[in-house]
Structure 1
Amino acid sequence: MASFKINGGFKLSGEIVPQGAKNEALQILCAVLLTEEPITIHKVPDIRDVNKLIELLASIGVNVQKVGAESYRFEASQVDLSYLETEEFKKKASSLRGSVMILGPLLARFGSAKMPKPGGDKIGRRRLDTHFIGFQKLGAKFNFDNESHFYEVDATDLKGTYMLLDEASVTGTANIILAAVLAKGITTIYNAACEPYIQQLCKMLNRMGANISGIGSNLLTIEGVESLGGTTHTLLPDMIEVGSFIGLAAMTKSNLRIKDARVDQLGIIPDTFRRLGIQLEIEGDDIVVPEQESYRIEKFFDGSILTIADAIWPGFTPDLLSIVLVTATQAKGTVLIHQKMFESRLFFVDKLIDMGAQIILCDPHRATVIGLDRQTPLRGIKMSSPDIRAGVALLIAALSAEGTSVISNVEQIDRGYQYIDKRLNALGAQIERIED
């Protein structure tokens, strides 16, 4: 276990480059199982969740070579399905929610797979029904063993079909796509997720020889092919890091340049932060956040309090609501944060209240933030990181606060942000990592 000791109240300055996208990486890495041919992936983030998935792929028999600082070459020509029967596999896969993404490609290529209940953030119910219903519609049969806690899936004869997803699940859509690309016939997925990461996956698969149309929409058509080949793929910058750095700059009154942000792939993220009163300048593919002494939250046109809620793409991503919430604590004005998707994701606000923030937790899904307009700075406290996004929100709060804060359980932050302490210290932050 490790902790961060943060001396707050310092302005940051300089340039920072976002890491490769975590959520895209978990899908793209699993796609290497679809072919015997080599696949090279660039901009792979050095974070716990991604590294654990790479280790899992290697254990299954994928030949993994690191060919650059952020580049890997994968060759899945010697996959060992017997490894799925071992206790070691159960331990590794159950500790990582992203491990569920190996099911689709294994079913497509080998006709069967096993998977323990995956882990991940404790942010509320995160059901897997969309994945399994999609597999069933393609012809797979699955069973959950209550004693071993394994999902067992048989998919020896996958056939394309029409399906209307019960929810536009990103991982569910990706997993079904990965299973359908080698299925016989045509698969039509309606109410498909259409995030940039899904678009990236589809474009990569098409370069491998798949036949997917409708990319970027919620209606995907997949014509199954006999086999897929190798390719090279570069991950997008992580949009959650980009949003985190915007919020960090505003809270610490810093002047930051976010380099190579792929602004064209950020959707409404920049405009959502602008609604909090944060000035943003787009220069080429960079985002410049100038130093601001204050920022004012907009109201709706009728004068009512602004509400920021998460929604499926192209709506606002739920992974940034924690960042928006903490950023609003020092704004001028009031905002209602509505977290619709996960019922436990706002429970970290008690720590912000202990720091001096004015927040009313209305219920598990809604919090009203009354901005302090920098009239009362937050104060440093001891706290623990409950999940990846809340952990970074607390880190931002600590960097803006007066005094010293200690955040324990920073392994949660490490799951999604690479070298975050070193990268922010290079900008002028004072973060010390303490190994317990």
Structure 2
Amino acid sequence: MASFRVKGGLKLKGEIIPQGAKNEALQVICAVLLSPEDITIDKIPDIRDVNKLIELLSDMGVTVRKNGPESYTFNAAAIDLDFLETQDFLDKASALRGSVMILGPLLARFGTGKLSKPGGDKIGRRRMDTHFTGFQKLGATFRYDKKKEIYHIDGSDLRGCYMLLDEASVTGTANIIMAAVMAKGKTTIYNAACEPYIQQLCGMLNRMGAKISGVGSNLLQIEGVGYLAGTTHTLLPDMIEIGSFIGLAAMTQSEITIKQVQADKLGIIPEIFRRMGIKLDIIGDDIHVPSQKHYEIETFIDGSILTIADAIWPGFTPDLLSIVLVTATQAKGTVLVHQKMFESRLFFVDKLIDMGAQIILCDPHRATVIGLDRKYPLRGIRMTSPDIRAGVALLIAAMSAEGTSVIDNVEQIDRGYQFIDKRLNALGASIERID
């Protein structure tokens, strides 16, 4: 297990380029299973979750060629379906939540799928119903071995249909799209997620020969096709990294320019940070955050406390609520953070309270943050990263605190952030990795 030793109180300065989007990468890498032809994907981040998925596909028979630091070519012409029956497959798939998205392509192209219960962040129950109900509506049949926690799926006769998703799940929508693109007939998906990552997946599939319309809306129409060809694809910059860097700049009074952000794909994210009182300028395709000694949280028009909550796109992404929460600790003013989706994601606030933050955890979904306006700096402590996003929030807190902090279990951070210690050290941070 690795740890970070972080010297706090340092101001950063310079430019940083966000990595390719983790959540998009997990989707489009699974999509290579839909075609026997070469598919080249650029801007792939070098992070644990993505690397584990690439390793899993390689074990399944996908030929993987690394073209450069962030570019891979995949060829899934010779998939070994027998590997799905091995314990090695089940073990590797269960260690990676994103592995659930291999099911849609496997059902579409080969008519069969098998998966053990996926792992991932410990942020509360993350049900699979949307994925599996969608497959069942397309005609797949399921058998669940409760003792071994293994799903066996037969998708040998997938047929298009109308479906209304019970929730606008991003991974669920992606998985169902990938199953439907080669199903017989027409599929209509209502209440579909429409995040930029889903739009990117649909664009990639359409270039491969799929027939998907309604992209960017919550109503998708898919005409099944018999064959999908190869293509090239470039990932979006990771909007969660971009938001994390904005919060980091504010907390540490740093001047940072975030390069090549594709600002038109960021939705409401810049506006939410502005409501936190953080100054930022979008210049061309870059975001410049100036050094700020103070930033003041807005109130609602009637003067009541601002509430920031997650919502389906184009609402605010739940992955950035941890960043908003930690950033608020040194703002002037009060904010209620409402995490609707996951019931355990706010539990990391106990560590911020130990650092001196004024936070009231109202219930598993809501926390009120009373900003200290830098009058009482956070203090360095030893803590453990519980999940990816909380881990980076704690890293931001440590970088702004007085003294030295140690963050254990940074493998969680490595799952979602590429070389984060080296990249921030290049801007003037002091983060030492301890094995």
Between the aligned partners of 1:52 and 1:17, the Cα distance in structure 2 is: 23
Between the aligned partners of 1:92 and 1:79, the Cα distance in structure 2 is: 17
Who is 1:176 aligned against? 176
Alpha-carbon offset, residue 380 of structure 1: 0.1
Who is 1:2 aligned against? 2
Does residue 15 of structure 2 align to residue 15 of structure 1?
A: yes
Between the aligned partners of 1:122 and 1:193, the Cα distance in structure 2 is: 23
Who is 2:306 aligned against? 306
Alpha-carbon offset, residue 265 of structure 1: 0.3
AA aligned opposite 1:373: D
SS at match of 1:193: coil
Alpha-carbon offset, residue 116 of structure 1: 0.2
Does residue 35 of structure 2 align to residue 35 of structure 1?
A: yes
Who is 1:369 aligned against? 369
Who is 2:185 aligned against? 185
**TM-score normalised over the length of structure 1:** 1.00
Between the aligned partners of 2:173 and 2:276, the Cα distance in structure 1 is: 32
Between the aligned partners of 2:122 and 2:150, the Cα distance in structure 1 is: 20
Does residue 427 of structure 2 align to residue 427 of structure 1?
A: yes
Between the aligned partners of 2:365 and 2:41, the Cα distance in structure 1 is: 37
**TM-score normalised over the length of structure 2:** 1.00
AA aligned opposite 1:279: K
Who is 2:289 aligned against? 289
| Unaligned stretches of 5+ residues in structure 2 | none
Between the aligned partners of 2:304 and 2:405, the Cα distance in structure 1 is: 35
Between the aligned partners of 1:140 and 1:84, the Cα distance in structure 2 is: 17
User: Where does 1:342-353 land on structure 2 (aligned, <5 Å)?
Assistant: 342-353=342-353
AA aligned opposite 1:209: G
Who is 2:239 aligned against? 239
AA aligned opposite 1:378: L
Deviations 1:354-397 (A, max 9, x none): 00000000000000000000000000000000000000000000
Alpha-carbon offset, residue 148 of structure 1: 2.2
SS at match of 1:209: coil
Aligned length: 435
Between the aligned partners of 2:180 and 2:43, the Cα distance in structure 1 is: 27
Between the aligned partners of 1:298 and 1:113, the Cα distance in structure 2 is: 50
AA aligned opposite 2:385: S
Deviations 1:132-190 (A, max 9, x none): 00000000001110122110000111000000000000000000000000000000000
AA aligned opposite 1:346: L
Between the aligned partners of 1:145 and 1:111, the Cα distance in structure 2 is: 19
SS at match of 1:10: coil
AA aligned opposite 2:207: R
Percent identical among aligned pairs is 78
Question: After TM superposition, where is structure 1 displaced by more than 3 Å over at least 4 residues in a row?
Answer: none
Does residue 69 of structure 2 align to residue 69 of structure 1?
A: yes
AA aligned opposite 1:290: P
Alpha-carbon offset, residue 424 of structure 1: 0.2
Between the aligned partners of 2:172 and 2:397, the Cα distance in structure 1 is: 33
Who is 1:121 aligned against? 121
SS at match of 1:23: helix
Alpha-carbon offset, residue 238 of structure 1: 0.2
Who is 1:409 aligned against? 409
Between the aligned partners of 1:407 and 1:271, the Cα distance in structure 2 is: 30
Between the aligned partners of 1:417 and 1:241, the Cα distance in structure 2 is: 8
AA aligned opposite 2:314: P
Who is 2:197 aligned against? 197
Who is 1:327 aligned against? 327
SS at match of 2:432: strand
Deviations 1:226-250 (A, max 9, x none): 1000000000000000000000000
AA aligned opposite 2:70: E
Please provide the CA RMSD for this pair: 0.3
Deviations 1:187-222 (A, max 9, x none): 000000000000000000000000000000000000
Alpha-carbon offset, residue 68 of structure 1: 1.0
AA aligned opposite 1:240: I
Between the aligned partners of 2:65 and 2:103, the Cα distance in structure 1 is: 23
AA aligned opposite 1:388: I
Between the aligned partners of 1:150 and 1:255, the Cα distance in structure 2 is: 50
Who is 2:102 aligned against? 102
